[in-house]
Chain A
Amino acid sequence: MSDKKVNRDNFGQLYDKYIKKIFNFIYYKTHHKETAEDLTSETFIKALNNLGSFNENKGSFSTWIYQIARNTVIDFYRTKKNNVNVDDIWDLSTDEDILRDLDTAKRLEDVKEYLKTLKSEQREIVILRVWEGMSYKEISDAMGKTEASCKMAFSRTIKTLKETMPLSVFLSMLLF
């Protein structure tokens, strides 16, 4: 189904197409299943309530719903830590007031220090390209950017990680 036909009648199909993607996107930004479920629900209800304001000439449905999800996560953390302008949990990774799934926290232990030094947009590209395995076409749709600029940003991110991730992280991999 083409996303260009966006209306309430086929919102169920749009839901089926995006539910897992949006949940994963939010989960990678929150690291907490229940929070991700709440914010995913909020994202789809907001999208549905505001469907009339979606303009296909201004961008794809994918760009639009990812933007709603992104803003929903930002709003959530602003209320959690209302003096800090934060995009996701990475900016709050030293904050013990925030819930995280133990399994995810353990998996990220070795790399979290390095990922949190990236700008939120760079982290988002890592999330979408490496963790979600999305193509640049899909990423450009989700981020509302051109494919070329997404490729460029990802390349720069990898270069940054090459310069900042110390050998000890790679050695820990060998022991894993």
Chain B
Amino acid sequence: MDKQIKQILRDVYSIDQSLKMHESTLIKIIQELLRSKPESKIDEQFVRELRAKVIERAKLLSNIKPHTNMFNTLFNKKFTYALVGTVIIIGAIIMINLPQKGGKLAINSLDENAFGELSFSQEVQNPEASGRGGGGNGEIMGVVSPEMVNYNFIYAGDDFSLDSGQITAYRVLKGDFLNKELLNVASNLDLSVLNLNKFQNIKIGNIEISEDRDFGYSVYIYPRQNSLSINANWEKWPRREESDTPAEMLADEELLSVADKFLAEYGINTDMYEKGEIINYAGGVLSENASIVYPLKIDDQIIYDQAGNKYGMNVSVSLRHKRVVSVYGIVTNTIESSKYAKETNKDKVIAFAEDGGLFKNYTYPNAVRTLDLELGTPEVILVTMWQRSENKMDTAEILVPSLVFPVITEMSEQTYFYRTNVVVPLIGELLDQYNKPIPDVRTFE
């Protein structure tokens, strides 16, 4: 037996001797993990180049006198004024120019079928890729049952009809307004030691602006992705100690109040979102934080992810400190809309739902049992999905009107099944596309 495996087993047995009786299985697990180890090939040239960069920067920083801004030393006071001005301007840009300012997203209405043939990721259809009986985001976890159980969806809701006509899909444009606005600022910046105007076709990289105070925050601006987020500046937060007792649980109202106050204090507009809802609150030793989602609304419709969970701006609150630790999903985009032909065949929609919807059911050939799960009456929602561009290099986010069928069968605690919804797109051509044969997932990787 390999020396490393022997040592790992010794460590495992020192904690739990009962595992010794499963030694052959444990050896196989460890061998499998070792076999699966990714080949991490670090490029020696990268190591050398980064080293040179780090050393150069270290020297630069060492030459700066304590308590002085490094830019004072590097350039001059003029630059410092410019830098301070820039930071203020950046703040102003974020405050003034986000598309949601004023409470509504800008939605540009396009012609029919303007997004082309809708064709979404095949990978999410593939049961192997999405996890056995699960997969996807949020509550649908790729949890593997210790016993092989097959699940069978059965529609048990009220009768419903699907009118003919058209429905509106939306496309979320990444845009580059953050990049443009920052470029305007940067190109006018006089650094004295060089003229930025002479640089051509410049792009702004990622920007981090941090608060240098206890419980401070960092704002991360990613101009190329046109996105930004806020995170605790962990350097300024107390470090969690091993001896700390689990944080106390907070009442829902208190959690929501902490989040609401933070958003108001930092001027984050919530007009385009629904009220916050707590989505993940384990507490105790399981989690120090609680997650709150402020569901995004477009044309007064709430947006959901493909698992049927509400989708929008997420705020994480520390139970220990009763403070917000992160905000992400702040909308910085503009939206286009276009009409598509609606699916009118109710039987086809129900058959698609009973097949698992966007996440097809995986069927074990040797299942020990099959559980019937009833689906309730569906509601129409907007679901975020990703579409590859023709060159397969980019993806676009499309919001697709869909039916969400709730799983109404109650699960026992022993059942390793976490799906609460089944989602079926309401655009006819999408259903047809999903019913095409599934290509080998490896061709997409």
Q: Which residues in chain A, 67-110, are within 8 Å of chain B measured between CB atoms?
A: 67, 71, 75, 78-80, 82-85, 93-94, 96-97, 100-110
Q: Is the CB of B55 within 8 A of A12?
A: yes
Q: Is the CB of B39 within 8 A of A103?
A: yes
Q: Is the CB of B141 within 8 A of A117?
A: yes
From B316, which residue of chain A is reached at the shortest CB distance?
A85
Q: Is the CB of A107 within 8 A of B39?
A: yes
* Chain B CB within 8 A of A44 CB: yes
From B311, which residue of chain A is reached at the shortest CB distance?
A83
Question: Hey, which chain A residues are within 8 Å of B229, CB to CB?
Answer: 75, 78-79, 82
In angstroms, how far is the closest chain A Cβ from the Cβ of B15? 4
Cα-based distance from A154 to B12 in the complex (angstroms): 7
From A71, which residue of chain B is reached at the shortest CB distance?
B234
* Chain A CB within 8 A of B347 CB: no
Question: Hey, which chain B residues are within 8 Å of A44, CB to CB?
Answer: 50, 54
* Chain A CB within 8 A of B61 CB: yes
* Chain A CB within 8 A of B318 CB: no
Main secondary structure of the interface of A (DSSP, over half): helix
Q: Is the CB of B311 within 8 A of A173?
A: no
Question: Hey, which chain A residues are within 8 Å of B40, CB to CB?
Answer: 23-24, 27-28, 36
Q: Which residues in chain B, 217-250, are within 8 Å of chain A measured between CB atoms?
A: 220, 222, 225, 227, 229, 231, 234-236, 239, 242
Cα-based distance from A162 to B25 in the complex (angstroms): 7
Q: Is the CB of A9 within 8 A of B29?
A: no
Q: Digitize A104-147: 1 where CB-to-B-CB distance is under 8 Å, 0 elsewhere.
A: 11111111011011000000001001110100100000001110
Q: Is the CB of A78 within 8 A of B29?
A: no
Question: Hey, which chain A residues are within 8 Å of B143, CB to CB?
Answer: 117
Question: Hey, which chain B residues are within 8 Å of A154, CB to CB?
Answer: 11-12
Chain B: interface size category: 35 or more
Q: Which of B19, B28, B124, B142 contacts A159 (CB 8 A)?
A: B19
Main secondary structure of the interface of B (DSSP, over half): mixed
Q: Is the CB of B124 within 8 A of A151?
A: no
Q: Return 16 A-B CB contacts under 8 Å, by A number.
A: A9-B58, A23-B40, A31-B38, A48-B61, A49-B61, A75-B220, A79-B227, A82-B227, A84-B314, A94-B135, A97-B395, A126-B33, A149-B242, A151-B11, A162-B19, A173-B32
**Which residues of chain B have a CB within 8 Å of any CB of chain A?**
4, 8, 11-12, 14-16, 19, 22, 25-26, 28-43, 46-47, 50-51, 53-55, 57-59, 61-62, 121, 123-124, 129-132, 135-138, 141-144, 146, 148, 220, 222, 225, 227, 229, 231, 234-236, 239, 242, 280, 291, 293, 305, 311-312, 314, 316, 326, 328-329, 384, 386, 388, 395, 442, 444-445
Known pairs A15-B51, A110-B36, A170-B25; list 15 more (Cβ under 8 Å): A15-B55, A23-B40, A53-B236, A79-B225, A83-B137, A83-B305, A83-B312, A101-B38, A105-B445, A107-B37, A108-B36, A116-B131, A117-B141, A130-B30, A152-B15
**Which residues of chain A have a CB within 8 Å of any CB of chain B?**
8-9, 11-12, 15-16, 19-20, 23-24, 27-28, 31, 33, 36-37, 40-41, 44-45, 48-51, 53, 58-59, 67, 71, 75, 78-80, 82-85, 93-94, 96-97, 100-111, 113-114, 116-117, 126, 129-131, 133, 136, 144-146, 149, 151-152, 154-155, 158-159, 161-166, 169-170, 173, 176
